[in-house]
Amino acid sequence: MARPRGIVGYGEDAEELACRYEGVAFEEVHGELLPWLPALPGRAADIGAGSGRDAAALAARGYEVVAVEPTPELRRFGRRQHDDAAVTWVDAALPALAGVRGPFDLVLLSAVWMHLDERERVEGMRRVAELTAPGGCVAISLRHGPPPAGRRMFAVSAAETVALAGRCGLAVVHRGEGPDLLGRADVRWSTLVFRARHHTTVGRK
């Protein structure tokens, strides 16, 4: 089976990338999300979990965590690095997220949304909304800037993402902008937090 197009380039550099991710704390990366974390007990899904840093941090806070990562090399690193964390790893990819079962009180999509083209973003947002419990929280970080060589990335604005999420029953409750924590001067990030109102469908006629 062919790998999802969005993960091209990640397997080859998995060890280096994972170590880089692990060098920045969850609280530093997701400081804007902390006030919006759902009350415990709760279920959390880390979509595109990478090295497992965020999944492990959420588990340490007391959430029941599912880490979804389609890159085998990153899944292996995450399991090894965080073998003491109460995290269930799942091999699945956006937009379909086949085999991922909600509902979740928190769905985190950190640095993954820009790998989807327009059609995939429509399908992916609908699927994310389906997986989110009513009143649950969805957090998305968007990368802005030139893509690294060999990576599949698209320019995705915060405004487009907010509009698409709204059509899927996700209401924006927080917007933020910030620099790249890995020191790349030509990269910046948007942080968006949504609250699930209800489940609906989008893109089907």
> Is residue 71 predicted with pLDDT exceeding 50?
yes
* Radius of gyration (C-alpha) of the chain in whole angstroms: 16
Helix (H, G, I), strand (E, B) or coil at 176: strand
* pLDDT over 70 percentage in the chain: 88
Q: Give this prediction's pTM.
A: 0.87
pLDDT at 13: 61
In DSSP terms, 190 is beta-bridged to: 142, 177
Q: Give the HSE-up count for residue 15: Cα atoms under 13 Å, Cβ half-sphere.
A: 0
> Is residue 179 predicted with pLDDT exceeding 80?
yes
Angle value at C-alpha 20, between 19 and 25, nearest 5 degrees: 100
> Is residue 12 predicted with pLDDT exceeding 60?
no
Domain definitions of the chain by residue range:
5-34+41-196
Question: Is residue 38 within 8 Å of 144, Cβ to Cβ?
Answer: no
Give the CATH fold of the 5-34+41-196 domain.
Rossmann fold (3.40.50)
Give the pLDDT mean for 85-99.
96
Largest CA distance in the chain: 46
